[in-house]
């Protein structure tokens, strides 16, 4: 499985990379982008199986990126999980209309990311012995 993490915070990208690597899925790679524009550049060069996307980013925000993805035949089927602090219902509603598969609020328990990946990807890419997060250790 190849994951694209799109977040302007290097701290959050690192946290998500750790969470994904411990999620019980066979992660071949975690690609990163600091904004929507960088994400489009990454997507032009690499296939990804799922995108973890923030909304608030400079240069190109998450909702604008979502519109680009939905307008492009090649990208519109890539599942997108919104991982954001966004509390505004209009913004979340717009993201849902644009086809996100799930919404995880920051701060989050690592387990919630694993559950979302499981719901979206099912058994595909799952390792035989997945790690049980139990508590909140990364």
Footprint of another protein on 47-66 (CB under 8 A): 56-58
The alpha helices in the chain, defined as continuous H runs, are 10-21, 36-45, 62-71, 89-97, 110-121
Q: Rounded to whole angstroms, how far apart are CA atoms 71 and 73? A: 7
d(CA 63, CA 92): 9
Residue 119 contacts another protein per CB under 8 A: no
Stretch that binds another protein, among 45-53, 68-76, 87-95, 117-125 (CB under 8 A): 87-95
Q: What x-and-dash track marks residues 18-47 binding another protein by CB under 8 A?
A: x-----------------------------
- The residues of the shown chain that bind another protein, judged by CB under 8 A, are 8-12, 14-15, 18, 56-58, 84-91, 105-109, 136, 138
């Amino acid at each position: 499985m190849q994951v694209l993490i799109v977040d302007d915070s290097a701290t959050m990208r690192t946290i998500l990379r750790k969470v994904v690597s411990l999620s019980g899925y066979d992660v071949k790679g975690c690609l990163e982008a600091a904004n929507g524009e960088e994400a489009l550049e990454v997507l032009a060069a690499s296939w990804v199986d799922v995108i973890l996307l923030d909304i608030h980013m400079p240069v190109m925000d998450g909702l604008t990126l979502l519109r680009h993805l939905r307008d492009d035949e090649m990208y519109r089927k890539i599942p997108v999980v919104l991982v954001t602090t966004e509390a505004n219902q209009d913004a979340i509603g717009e993201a849902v209309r644009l086809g996100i598969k799930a919404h995880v609020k920051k701060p989050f328990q690592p387990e919630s990311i694993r559950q979302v990946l499981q719901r979206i990807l099912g058994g595909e890419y799952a390792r035989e012995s997945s790690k049980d997060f139990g508590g909140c250790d990364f």
